[in-house]
Amino acid sequence: MDKVRIGLVGLGFMGSTHFRVYRDFVPNAQVVAVADVDPVKRKGDISSVKGNIGNDDNSIPLDFTGIKVYSNGFDMIKDADIDMVDICVPTPYHKDLIVAALAAGKYVQSEKPLCRNLEQAEEIKKAVEGSDKFFNVDMCVRAWPAYRHALVNYQAGKYGKMRAANFHRLSPCVDDGHWQDWFSYGELAGGALLDMHLHDTDFIATMFGNPKAVTANGIDGFVSKSGIDHVITIYHYDDGALVSAEGTWGAPATAPFEMTFQIYCEKATLRLTPTDYTIYWTDGTVEKPELDDKELPTGWHHQFKYFVDCVKNGVKPDKYQTFQSVYDAFKVIMAEQESIDKKKTIEIKY
């Protein structure tokens, strides 16, 4: 394989982000086909697209010269000239495209969340287990430079035992600039709970292991039409560590996006603010770690480059995720929804 030939379905906020990352940062990637239901985006015009993070200029059209353009993702998947399918459509449509692309013998990368519910997750699990092609879900926070630094060094034992941790993901509302305002409908997007807060749930499970239970509280439909717009969750661990996360898209559109954490360990406290990542050692040392963000600035860049290189070289990817770990974290977020609905702590079986 010379370059990995990619077919990208969905050209909204995430699809346009993926397109530019492949184009500008992943030499082994070549987008050879795109698909979208929207005829305007099929011409490369993404001026209507909005996102809550990143600084891309969407007034500049995407150039699809030499790229095949489809109106239907399933037709694109049949294209023999594609090695890998990248799925960036709204969440409820992930499952059918993932299953079809794996069945067609393609490598697959899909946006998060894995899908909309546990039934769909089970179908995806069977498809992934029945395929010899690699599959990646864009759980980009696992690869985001400050988060990755914290995770790798914590798991290497540098900071000692974790005693408490809290994570925050605070976004302006996302009711504008998306396909048919789909984020505003809980049955489609799953609210800020599934769409945004999942990143912290997934990271917590990756860094500290799967929690045995969750207690969550959420507000339904306070800015959207339905779905949990604001959530606070406590993740229960056997050793009594106090771990929590808050996620919201309840702020006005003028408010900046923020993702932050504080992790209190025996030997150090790690603090990510909107502007700074610092490690406060108990011996008094204050460290500003060098992050791996110079050539590849975000978790999207790191993860996509890694996955494409794995496909090109025929090496099974294992740096950022196993399917089981993505699937387990999906169970945790579904338990959080159940905890909110039933107003009680939910034990999780893995």
Residues binding ligand NAD (CB under 6 A)? 9-15, 35-38, 41, 49, 73, 88-91, 93, 111-112, 138, 140, 178-179, 182, 195
Give me 42's structure tokens.
């099929």
Give least dist CB 315 to ligand NAD, A: 23
Give least dist CB 82 to ligand NAD, A: 15
Strands, E, within the chain: which ranges?
A: 4-9, 29-35, 68-70, 84-87, 107-110, 135-137, 162-172, 213-220, 228-236, 242-251, 258-265, 268-272, 277-281, 286-287, 346-347
CB of 98 or CB of 162, closer to ligand NAD: 98
CB of 120 or CB of 215, closer to ligand NAD: 120
Give least dist CB 213 to ligand NAD, A: 26
CB of 40 or CB of 315, closer to ligand NAD: 40
Give me 177's structure tokens.
């600039």
CB of 37 or CB of 164, closer to ligand NAD: 37
Give least dist CB 112 to ligand NAD, A: 5
Give me 258's structure tokens.
């923020």
CB of 5 or CB of 112, closer to ligand NAD: 112
DSSP labels, 5-62: EEEEE--SHHHHHHHHHHHHH-TTEEEEEEE-S-HHHHTT--TT---SS----TTSPP
Give least dist CB 268 to ligand NAD, A: 28
Give least dist CB 36 to ligand NAD, A: 4
Residue sitting closest to ligand NAD (CB) = 12
User: Which residues, in sequence order, are CB contacts of 109 under 8 Å at separation 6+?
Assistant: 84, 85, 86, 87, 135, 136, 137, 138, 304, 307
CB of 14 or CB of 245, closer to ligand NAD: 14
Query: At 269, phi and psi to the nearest 5?
Result: -115, 130
CB of 69 or CB of 242, closer to ligand NAD: 69
Give least dist CB 182 to ligand NAD, A: 6
Give least dist CB 124 to ligand NAD, A: 13
User: Which residues, in sequence order, are CB contacts of 307 under 8 Å at separation 6+?
Assistant: 109, 134, 136, 317
User: Which residues, in sequence order, are CB contacts of 281 under 8 Å at separation 6+?
Assistant: 267, 268, 287
Note whether 299 and 148 are within 8 A (CB): yes
Note whether 77 and 106 are within 8 A (CB): yes
Give me 66's structure tokens.
């030499």
Note whether 88 and 18 are within 8 A (CB): yes
Question: Taking the C-alpha atoms of 113, 115, 121 and 126 in order, what is their torsion angle to the nearest 10 degrees?
Answer: -100
CB of 268 or CB of 272, closer to ligand NAD: 272
